């Protein structure tokens, strides 16, 4: 089974289209949440991800932008975008977002793998380093946990009691690239495909991953996209300009 793993699209239609166009053959999609928020194309993005099908996990912006949560813990820019998104979503798409399941979500055809937004124990937890990952890796019953939320591509693992990080280094930040990682069947992993629509690891390119369950491997991908168009949509929608500027920065 080959799974296309996407996360944190954040209403960025141009980035999502670029990922789908660049993705190698896959059998099913696993979507780790935060489809909406920040960007200016919430309905267009929801239409695409609904059509893709597969596995879905809700994210914190999915909750807030659909009215399931308040926005009291959002910064002013995120809150402004959430309220705009809530008022812009079509009724059918709003209802679909509200019905997204809380993780962990499992694929009956892929054993020893779970899919979450933040962590298996807290969908809003940020796992940014091996210290934050230690408890989850120790207590998880699964060999592989795919997570999003941080917008940082890569991951952490635990082998023979020792924690380690997966460091991804791409030669360029301008063209499409990928890195294949063969997973150790004797280790446990927390793996993040990166953010499709708003990377925060210093690389502006859209991010996704392909998981091959038979080979027990993950291919991490970065692809350029029409960032200028995504920025212009944000500005034309009178959303905060910072949301447009950060797309080129990858922050």
**What would the pLDDT profile of 97-112 be if each residue is shown by its tens digit?**
999 999 999 999 999 9
* Centroid of chain to Cα 154: 12
pLDDT score at 135? 87
Q: Which of 190, 192, 181, 191 is nearest to 219 (CA)?
A: 181
How do 105-106 and 154-159 pair as beta strands? unpaired
Q: Which two tokens stand for residue 154?
A: 């890569």
| Residues 6 or more apart whose Cβ sits within 8 Å of residue 141 | none
DSSP-derived 3-state class of residue 39: coil
The count of other CB atoms within 10 Å of the CB of residue 183 is 20
Q: Give the span between the Cα atoms of 190 and 144, in whole angstroms.
A: 6
What's the pTM value of the predicted model, to 2 decimals?
0.95
Cα–Cα–Cα angle for 137, 222, 171, rounded to 5 degrees: 100
Span 130-172, pLDDT tens digits: 888 888 898 889 999 999 999 999 999 999 989 999 889 898 8
154 DSSP β-pair partners: 192
DSSP-derived 3-state class of residue 159: strand
Q: Which two tokens stand for residue 195?
A: 């953010």
Per-residue DSSP letter, 23: P
pLDDT score at 44? 98
Instruction: Give residue for tokens 């979507």.
Output: 31
Q: Which two tokens stand for residue 239?
A: 């959303």
Parts of the chain with a pLDDT under 50: none
The number of residues making up the chain comes to 251
Cα–Cα–Cα angle for 146, 158, 220, rounded to 5 degrees: 40
How do 177-182 and 217-223 pair as beta strands? antiparallel
Cα–Cα–Cα angle for 143, 126, 100, rounded to 5 degrees: 75
């Amino acid at each position: 089974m080959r799974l296309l793993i996407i996360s944190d699209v954040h209403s960025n239609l141009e980035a999502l289209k670029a990922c789908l166009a660049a993705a190698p053959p896959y059998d099913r999609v696993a979507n780790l949440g935060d489809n909406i928020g920040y960007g200016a194309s919430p309905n267009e993005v929801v239409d695409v991800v609904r059509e893709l099908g597969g596995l879905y996990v809700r994210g914190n912006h999915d909750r807030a932008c659909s009215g399931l949560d308040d926005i009291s813990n959002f910064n002013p820019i995120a809150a402004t975008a959430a309220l705009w998104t809530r008022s812009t979503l079509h009724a059918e798409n709003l209802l679909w977002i509200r019905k997204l399941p809380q993780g962990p979500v499992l694929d009956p055809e892929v054993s020893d793998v779970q899919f979450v937004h933040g962590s298996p124990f807290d969908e809003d937890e940020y796992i940014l380093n091996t210290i934050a990952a230690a408890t989850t890796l120790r207590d998880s019953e699964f060999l592989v946990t795919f997570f999003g939320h941080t917008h940082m591509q890569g991951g952490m693992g635990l082998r023979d009691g020792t924690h380690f990080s997966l460091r991804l280094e791409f030669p360029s930040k301008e063209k499409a690239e990928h890195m294949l990682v063969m997973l150790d069947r004797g280790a446990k992993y927390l793996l993040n495909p990166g953010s499709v629509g708003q990377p925060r690891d210093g690389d502006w390119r859209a991010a996704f991953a392909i998981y091959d369950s038979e080979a027990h491997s993950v291919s991490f991908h970065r692809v350029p996209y029409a960032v200028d168009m995504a920025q212009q949509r944000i500005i034309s929608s009178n959303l905060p300009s910072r949301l447009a500027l950060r797309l080129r920065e990858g922050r």
